[in-house]
A and B are shown apart, each in its own frame.
Chain A
Amino acid sequence: MKELLSTPWPWYVTGPLIGLMVPLLLVLGNKSFGLSASLRHICAACIPTKTKYFLYDWKKEIWNIVLVAGIIAGGILGGIVFENPNEVRLSESTIADLSALGLSNYHGLGPVEVFSFQSLLTLRGFLIMVIGGFFVGFGTRYCGGCTSGHSITGLANLQWPSLVATCSFFAGGLLMSWVILPYILNL
Protein backbone atom coordinates (compact mmCIF):
# COMPACT_ATOMS: atom_id res chain seq x y z
CA MET A 1 0.00 0.00 0.00
CA LYS A 2 2.74 2.42 1.00
CA GLU A 3 4.50 1.63 -2.27
CA LEU A 4 1.37 2.42 -4.28
CA LEU A 5 0.90 5.73 -2.46
CA SER A 6 4.56 6.75 -2.84
CA THR A 7 5.05 6.10 -6.53
CA PRO A 8 3.84 8.62 -9.12
CA TRP A 9 0.56 7.70 -10.81
CA PRO A 10 0.10 7.64 -14.59
CA TRP A 11 -1.73 10.46 -16.37
CA TYR A 12 -4.75 8.29 -17.21
CA VAL A 13 -5.39 7.81 -13.49
CA THR A 14 -4.62 11.30 -12.19
CA GLY A 15 -6.27 13.21 -15.06
CA PRO A 16 -9.73 11.68 -14.58
CA LEU A 17 -9.41 12.04 -10.78
CA ILE A 18 -8.68 15.76 -11.22
CA GLY A 19 -11.66 16.04 -13.58
CA LEU A 20 -13.90 14.57 -10.89
CA MET A 21 -13.32 17.69 -8.78
CA VAL A 22 -15.82 19.52 -11.00
CA PRO A 23 -18.88 17.33 -10.31
CA LEU A 24 -17.73 16.78 -6.72
CA LEU A 25 -17.83 20.49 -5.86
CA LEU A 26 -21.07 21.01 -7.77
CA VAL A 27 -22.79 18.21 -5.90
CA LEU A 28 -21.32 19.20 -2.53
CA GLY A 29 -22.67 22.73 -2.70
CA ASN A 30 -23.07 24.20 -6.19
CA LYS A 31 -19.48 25.44 -6.24
CA SER A 32 -17.52 25.99 -9.41
CA PHE A 33 -14.07 24.43 -9.30
CA GLY A 34 -11.50 27.20 -9.51
CA LEU A 35 -8.54 28.13 -7.38
CA SER A 36 -7.26 31.55 -8.36
CA ALA A 37 -10.24 33.23 -6.67
CA SER A 38 -8.66 32.15 -3.37
CA LEU A 39 -5.97 34.80 -3.96
CA ARG A 40 -8.68 37.46 -4.08
CA HIS A 41 -10.32 36.11 -0.93
CA ILE A 42 -6.97 36.20 0.88
CA CYS A 43 -6.61 39.89 -0.07
CA ALA A 44 -10.18 40.71 0.94
CA ALA A 45 -9.75 38.95 4.28
CA CYS A 46 -6.23 40.07 5.19
CA ILE A 47 -5.53 43.47 3.65
CA PRO A 48 -7.51 46.45 4.96
CA THR A 49 -8.45 48.33 1.81
CA LYS A 50 -11.11 50.54 0.26
CA THR A 51 -10.57 49.08 -3.21
CA LYS A 52 -13.93 48.07 -4.67
CA TYR A 53 -12.62 44.77 -6.01
CA PHE A 54 -12.02 43.56 -2.46
CA LEU A 55 -15.19 44.89 -0.86
CA TYR A 56 -17.47 41.89 -0.82
CA ASP A 57 -18.58 39.38 1.73
CA TRP A 58 -15.55 37.10 1.61
CA LYS A 59 -16.98 35.09 4.49
CA LYS A 60 -19.38 33.55 1.98
CA GLU A 61 -16.36 32.21 0.13
CA ILE A 62 -14.76 30.49 3.09
CA TRP A 63 -15.40 27.14 1.40
CA ASN A 64 -12.71 28.11 -1.12
CA ILE A 65 -10.18 28.88 1.62
CA VAL A 66 -11.02 25.57 3.32
CA LEU A 67 -10.46 23.83 -0.02
CA VAL A 68 -7.05 25.50 -0.20
CA ALA A 69 -6.23 24.35 3.35
CA GLY A 70 -7.11 20.84 2.19
CA ILE A 71 -4.80 21.14 -0.81
CA ILE A 72 -1.91 22.15 1.47
CA ALA A 73 -2.68 19.13 3.66
CA GLY A 74 -2.84 16.97 0.53
CA GLY A 75 0.59 18.30 -0.40
CA ILE A 76 1.95 17.27 3.01
CA LEU A 77 0.42 13.81 2.64
CA GLY A 78 1.60 13.26 -0.94
CA GLY A 79 4.92 15.07 -0.77
CA ILE A 80 6.19 14.31 2.73
CA VAL A 81 4.32 11.35 4.26
CA PHE A 82 4.20 9.41 0.99
CA GLU A 83 7.17 11.07 -0.67
CA ASN A 84 8.32 9.71 -4.01
CA PRO A 85 11.92 8.57 -3.33
CA ASN A 86 12.86 8.79 -7.01
CA GLU A 87 13.45 11.63 -9.44
CA VAL A 88 10.69 12.78 -11.76
CA ARG A 89 11.05 10.72 -14.94
CA LEU A 90 11.50 13.51 -17.43
CA SER A 91 11.92 13.06 -21.13
CA GLU A 92 15.55 13.03 -22.15
CA SER A 93 15.15 15.92 -24.53
CA THR A 94 13.89 18.14 -21.67
CA ILE A 95 16.90 17.20 -19.55
CA ALA A 96 19.20 17.91 -22.51
CA ASP A 97 17.56 21.29 -23.16
CA LEU A 98 17.62 22.38 -19.53
CA SER A 99 21.19 21.16 -19.08
CA ALA A 100 22.21 23.28 -22.06
CA LEU A 101 20.67 26.22 -20.17
CA GLY A 102 22.88 25.49 -17.19
CA LEU A 103 20.72 23.36 -14.89
CA SER A 104 22.19 20.16 -13.52
CA ASN A 105 20.15 18.94 -10.58
CA TYR A 106 16.92 17.15 -11.50
CA HIS A 107 16.12 15.89 -8.04
CA GLY A 108 13.01 17.19 -6.34
CA LEU A 109 10.13 19.22 -7.75
CA GLY A 110 12.07 22.13 -9.19
CA PRO A 111 15.68 23.07 -9.88
CA VAL A 112 17.31 23.64 -6.47
CA GLU A 113 19.71 26.06 -8.18
CA VAL A 114 16.73 28.37 -8.63
CA PHE A 115 14.21 27.53 -5.92
CA SER A 116 16.00 28.34 -2.69
CA PHE A 117 16.05 31.24 -0.24
CA GLN A 118 19.65 32.14 -1.18
CA SER A 119 18.68 32.29 -4.83
CA LEU A 120 16.07 34.97 -4.01
CA LEU A 121 18.95 37.42 -3.72
CA THR A 122 20.09 36.74 -7.27
CA LEU A 123 18.45 38.40 -10.26
CA ARG A 124 17.58 35.01 -11.74
CA GLY A 125 15.88 33.75 -8.59
CA PHE A 126 14.10 37.06 -8.04
CA LEU A 127 12.69 37.11 -11.58
CA ILE A 128 11.57 33.48 -11.50
CA MET A 129 10.05 33.40 -8.02
CA VAL A 130 9.01 36.95 -7.15
CA ILE A 131 8.11 38.36 -10.58
CA GLY A 132 6.79 34.96 -11.69
CA GLY A 133 4.53 34.77 -8.64
CA PHE A 134 3.35 38.32 -9.24
CA PHE A 135 2.40 37.40 -12.83
CA VAL A 136 0.46 34.38 -11.59
CA GLY A 137 -1.60 36.49 -9.17
CA PHE A 138 -2.05 39.48 -11.46
CA GLY A 139 -2.71 37.46 -14.61
CA THR A 140 -5.15 34.93 -13.20
CA ARG A 141 -7.35 37.62 -11.72
CA TYR A 142 -7.11 39.79 -14.82
CA CYS A 143 -8.43 36.90 -16.89
CA GLY A 144 -10.87 35.69 -14.27
CA GLY A 145 -9.51 32.21 -13.67
CA CYS A 146 -6.61 29.81 -13.95
CA THR A 147 -6.06 26.30 -15.24
CA SER A 148 -8.76 24.85 -12.98
CA GLY A 149 -11.35 27.59 -13.51
CA HIS A 150 -10.93 28.09 -17.25
CA SER A 151 -9.11 25.11 -18.79
CA ILE A 152 -11.09 22.51 -16.86
CA THR A 153 -14.35 23.96 -15.47
CA GLY A 154 -14.94 26.61 -18.14
CA LEU A 155 -14.17 24.33 -21.08
CA ALA A 156 -16.22 21.50 -19.54
CA ASN A 157 -19.16 23.93 -19.47
CA LEU A 158 -18.48 24.75 -23.16
CA GLN A 159 -17.76 28.43 -22.52
CA TRP A 160 -15.82 29.83 -25.44
CA PRO A 161 -14.21 32.68 -23.42
CA SER A 162 -12.48 29.96 -21.41
CA LEU A 163 -11.04 28.57 -24.63
CA VAL A 164 -9.66 32.02 -25.45
CA ALA A 165 -8.19 32.20 -21.94
CA THR A 166 -6.63 28.73 -22.23
CA CYS A 167 -5.04 29.60 -25.58
CA SER A 168 -3.69 32.80 -24.04
CA PHE A 169 -2.16 30.85 -21.11
CA PHE A 170 -0.32 28.74 -23.63
CA ALA A 171 0.70 31.67 -25.79
CA GLY A 172 2.26 33.33 -22.73
CA GLY A 173 3.80 30.08 -21.49
CA LEU A 174 5.35 29.24 -24.87
CA LEU A 175 6.75 32.72 -25.36
CA MET A 176 8.28 32.62 -21.89
CA SER A 177 9.68 29.08 -22.16
CA TRP A 178 11.14 29.39 -25.66
CA VAL A 179 12.16 33.01 -25.90
CA ILE A 180 12.58 34.71 -22.52
CA LEU A 181 13.36 31.96 -19.99
CA PRO A 182 16.64 30.92 -21.66
CA TYR A 183 17.98 34.45 -21.00
CA ILE A 184 16.75 34.44 -17.42
CA LEU A 185 18.27 31.02 -16.68
CA ASN A 186 21.61 32.25 -17.97
CA LEU A 187 21.68 35.32 -15.72
Chain B
Amino acid sequence: MKYINYFFAGLFFGFVLVKAEVISWFRIQEMFRFQSFHMYGIIGSALMVAMLSVFIIKKLKLKTISGEEIKIEGKKFNWGYVIGGIIFGFGWALTGACPGPLYALMGSGVLVIVVVLVSAVLGTYCYGVFKEKLPH
Protein backbone atom coordinates (compact mmCIF):
# COMPACT_ATOMS: atom_id res chain seq x y z
CA MET B 1 0.00 0.00 0.00
CA LYS B 2 2.94 2.35 0.49
CA TYR B 3 3.20 2.61 -3.29
CA ILE B 4 -0.39 3.70 -3.86
CA ASN B 5 0.74 7.29 -4.60
CA TYR B 6 2.61 6.02 -7.63
CA PHE B 7 -0.50 4.32 -8.92
CA PHE B 8 -2.33 7.64 -8.95
CA ALA B 9 0.66 9.40 -10.49
CA GLY B 10 0.58 6.79 -13.26
CA LEU B 11 -3.19 7.12 -13.64
CA PHE B 12 -2.80 10.86 -14.13
CA PHE B 13 0.05 10.41 -16.60
CA GLY B 14 -1.72 7.70 -18.60
CA PHE B 15 -4.89 9.77 -18.84
CA VAL B 16 -2.96 12.85 -20.00
CA LEU B 17 -1.08 10.76 -22.59
CA VAL B 18 -4.38 9.69 -24.13
CA LYS B 19 -5.84 13.22 -24.10
CA ALA B 20 -2.63 14.57 -25.64
CA GLU B 21 -2.95 11.96 -28.42
CA VAL B 22 0.75 11.16 -28.10
CA ILE B 23 -0.22 7.49 -28.05
CA SER B 24 -1.40 7.84 -31.65
CA TRP B 25 0.81 6.21 -34.28
CA PHE B 26 -0.38 8.87 -36.70
CA ARG B 27 0.80 11.69 -34.43
CA ILE B 28 4.29 10.18 -34.23
CA GLN B 29 4.45 9.96 -38.04
CA GLU B 30 3.27 13.57 -38.22
CA MET B 31 6.09 14.52 -35.85
CA PHE B 32 8.84 12.72 -37.76
CA ARG B 33 7.55 14.26 -40.98
CA PHE B 34 7.60 17.77 -39.44
CA GLN B 35 3.98 18.30 -40.45
CA SER B 36 2.58 19.55 -37.18
CA PHE B 37 3.76 21.46 -34.16
CA HIS B 38 1.63 19.30 -31.84
CA MET B 39 4.25 16.79 -30.59
CA TYR B 40 7.02 19.38 -30.45
CA GLY B 41 4.76 21.65 -28.41
CA ILE B 42 4.07 18.83 -25.97
CA ILE B 43 7.64 17.64 -25.54
CA GLY B 44 8.97 21.22 -25.48
CA SER B 45 6.53 22.53 -22.90
CA ALA B 46 6.88 19.36 -20.79
CA LEU B 47 10.62 19.91 -20.81
CA MET B 48 10.28 23.60 -19.86
CA VAL B 49 8.05 22.78 -16.89
CA ALA B 50 10.33 19.92 -15.80
CA MET B 51 13.44 22.07 -16.13
CA LEU B 52 11.95 24.92 -14.14
CA SER B 53 10.77 22.47 -11.46
CA VAL B 54 14.21 20.87 -11.14
CA PHE B 55 15.78 24.34 -10.92
CA ILE B 56 13.39 25.38 -8.14
CA ILE B 57 13.85 22.08 -6.28
CA LYS B 58 17.65 22.51 -6.33
CA LYS B 59 17.58 26.24 -5.56
CA LEU B 60 15.25 25.92 -2.58
CA LYS B 61 16.75 22.55 -1.55
CA LEU B 62 13.24 21.10 -1.33
CA LYS B 63 12.65 17.80 0.43
CA THR B 64 10.45 14.80 -0.31
CA ILE B 65 7.20 14.33 1.60
CA SER B 66 9.09 12.06 4.01
CA GLY B 67 11.73 14.73 4.60
CA GLU B 68 14.54 13.25 2.50
CA GLU B 69 16.88 15.49 0.56
CA ILE B 70 15.98 15.37 -3.14
CA LYS B 71 18.76 14.00 -5.33
CA ILE B 72 18.77 13.39 -9.05
CA GLU B 73 21.37 10.94 -10.23
CA GLY B 74 23.34 12.03 -13.27
CA LYS B 75 24.23 9.82 -16.20
CA LYS B 76 27.68 9.19 -17.60
CA PHE B 77 28.13 9.22 -21.34
CA ASN B 78 28.86 6.06 -23.26
CA TRP B 79 28.41 5.18 -26.95
CA GLY B 80 25.35 3.14 -26.12
CA TYR B 81 23.49 6.46 -25.97
CA VAL B 82 24.09 6.91 -29.68
CA ILE B 83 23.74 3.32 -30.93
CA GLY B 84 20.91 2.37 -28.57
CA GLY B 85 19.27 5.73 -29.19
CA ILE B 86 19.14 5.16 -32.94
CA ILE B 87 17.78 1.64 -32.45
CA PHE B 88 15.08 3.00 -30.17
CA GLY B 89 14.34 5.70 -32.77
CA PHE B 90 13.70 2.94 -35.32
CA GLY B 91 11.31 1.26 -32.92
CA TRP B 92 9.61 4.55 -32.03
CA ALA B 93 8.86 5.34 -35.68
CA LEU B 94 7.76 1.75 -36.45
CA THR B 95 5.45 1.16 -33.50
CA GLY B 96 4.53 4.81 -32.96
CA ALA B 97 5.11 4.30 -29.25
CA CYS B 98 7.77 4.72 -26.62
CA PRO B 99 7.44 2.69 -23.39
CA GLY B 100 5.01 5.03 -21.57
CA PRO B 101 2.50 5.25 -24.41
CA LEU B 102 2.84 1.49 -24.94
CA TYR B 103 1.21 0.89 -21.56
CA ALA B 104 -1.44 3.58 -22.08
CA LEU B 105 -2.30 2.11 -25.49
CA MET B 106 -2.77 -1.30 -23.92
CA GLY B 107 -5.19 0.22 -21.41
CA SER B 108 -7.09 2.10 -24.08
CA GLY B 109 -8.08 -1.18 -25.65
CA VAL B 110 -5.64 -1.75 -28.50
CA LEU B 111 -5.07 -5.35 -27.50
CA VAL B 112 -2.53 -6.24 -30.18
CA ILE B 113 -0.14 -3.86 -28.42
CA VAL B 114 0.43 -6.69 -25.92
CA VAL B 115 2.48 -8.32 -28.70
CA VAL B 116 4.57 -5.15 -29.09
CA LEU B 117 5.11 -5.04 -25.33
CA VAL B 118 6.16 -8.70 -25.14
CA SER B 119 8.64 -8.02 -27.97
CA ALA B 120 9.95 -5.01 -26.09
CA VAL B 121 10.48 -7.14 -22.97
CA LEU B 122 12.24 -9.71 -25.12
CA GLY B 123 14.40 -6.94 -26.62
CA THR B 124 15.37 -5.79 -23.15
CA TYR B 125 16.17 -9.39 -22.21
CA CYS B 126 18.45 -9.77 -25.25
CA TYR B 127 20.18 -6.52 -24.39
CA GLY B 128 20.84 -7.85 -20.88
CA VAL B 129 22.26 -11.10 -22.24
CA PHE B 130 24.54 -9.47 -24.83
CA LYS B 131 25.39 -6.31 -22.87
CA GLU B 132 29.04 -7.20 -22.23
CA LYS B 133 29.65 -7.93 -25.92
CA LEU B 134 28.11 -4.70 -27.21
CA PRO B 135 30.14 -1.52 -27.76
CA HIS B 136 29.46 1.10 -25.08
B124 and A43 within 8 A (CB): yes
A73 and B7 within 8 A (CB): yes
Size category of the binding interface on chain B = 35 or more
Segment 66-86 of A: residues with Cβ below 8 Å from B: 66-80, 83
B70 touches which one: A26, A42, A161 (CB < 8 A)? Answer: A26
| Chain A hits for B17, CB < 8 A | 18, 71, 74-75, 78
Chain B 49-74 interface mask (CB, 8 Å, partner A; 1/0): 11101101100001011101011111
Q: Chain B binding site: helix, strand, loop or mixed by DSSP?
A: helix
Given contacts A98-B29, A137-B121, contact A176 B88 (CB under 8 A): no
Q: Chain A binding site: helix, strand, loop or mixed by DSSP?
A: helix
B103 and A71 within 8 A (CB): yes
Residue of A nearest to B74 (CB): A159
5 cross-chain pairs, A with B, having the tightest CB-CB distances, nearest first: A172-B89, A74-B14, A70-B10, A79-B108, A75-B107
Give chain A's interface residues, CB within 8 Å of chain B. 5, 8-9, 11-12, 14-33, 35-36, 38-40, 42-43, 47, 49, 51-54, 62-64, 66-80, 83, 88, 90-91, 93-94, 97-98, 106, 108-111, 114-117, 119-120, 127-148, 150-162, 164-178, 180-181, 184
